[in-house]
A and B are shown apart, each in its own frame.
Chain A
Amino acid sequence: MADVHLNIAGRSYDVHCADGQEEQLRQLAAMVDEKARSMTGSTEVRQLLFAALMLADEASEARGKVEKAGPESDSLRAAVALAESRAAAAQDELKAAQLREKRALHDAKVAAQREESALAELEKLRQGAPVAPPAPAGRHDRALMQIADRIEALASTVEQMA
């Protein structure tokens, strides 16, 4: 235990407190002394009475503020939870987007390799023997019709000879 000497409203008091709480006790005594001294022109008992009433009023007001802050704290906690949930969802979305981007890059790489391979093949063809351009389809069709005409004429000749 520690001994502490206090001065409140002009009177000295020797009190005991737990070790380490001396400074806190002196600060509380200073608050009571301040309130008591603000009540001038009164007896010591009334000064202490009004100091006690004023401090009780302040304590009550502070308690009311804490109670009012309760719902706000709940809202705040809900908002924090919502924000954390959204942050988690955003993180998941980010991971999914990164995965999609990785896949898209892979696809693009494969496509580029295919294109490169096709270009190389084309270049080989260009460097090789000149390839005659494909005949237009109409030319083949005309040839087919002429062949049909000629074979039909041959069939008529063969039938006449038979």
Chain B
Amino acid sequence: MELDLDESSLAIGRIERALSRIEKALAQRAAPSTPASTGDSTDSAALKAEVAAVIGELDRLIAEAKNG
């Protein structure tokens, strides 16, 4: 079933809220008051890998939506 305009707006709203959550989490992570954990570098590498995977996935989804 195709989404109507309201559902499209809902999806965009979800994306905006998720991006806001990411921004907030990254700001907390970069805050100097936050105590550095031992697994910090491991987490950063995992985070970069996750972001790269998501970007690749988003590129694929966008290409599919464009070209069918």
Contacts and interface: CB of A to CB of B under 8 A. Distances in A.
Interface of A: 132, 135-148, 150-155, 157-159, 161-162
Given A151-B54, A154-B18, A161-B29, A145 B3 contact: yes
A162 to B, nearest CB: 4
A131 to B, nearest CB: 12
B3 A157 contact: no
Q: Nearest 8 A-B pairs (CB), nearest first?
A: A138-B2, A141-B3, A143-B65, A144-B11, A148-B14, A155-B21, A162-B25, A151-B18
Contacts of B64: 139, 143
> Chain B contact residues: over half helix, strand or loop, or mixed?
helix
Nearest to B44: A161
A162 B3 contact: no
A158 B3 contact: no
A141 B58 CA distance: 14
Interface in B22-42: 22, 25-26, 28-29
> Chain A contact residues: over half helix, strand or loop, or mixed?
helix
5 contacts: A146-B61, A147-B62, A148-B11, A151-B58, A158-B21
Interface residues of B, number: 31
Contact of B46 (A142, A144, A153, A161): A161
A154 B54 contact: yes
Interface in B43-68: 43, 46-47, 50-51, 54, 57-58, 61-62, 64-68
Q: Which of A137, A141, A146, A162 has the most CB of B within 10 A?
A: A162
Given A144-B8, A147-B58, A151-B54, A139 B65 contact: yes
A150 B47 contact: no
Contact of A157 (B15, B47, B57, B67): B47
Given A139-B68, A142-B3, A144-B11, A158 B19 contact: no
Given A132-B66, A148-B14, 19 more contacts: A135-B65, A141-B2, A143-B62, A143-B64, A143-B65, A144-B3, A144-B11, A147-B11, A147-B15, A150-B57, A151-B19, A151-B58, A152-B14, A155-B18, A158-B26, A161-B25, A161-B29, A161-B47, A162-B26
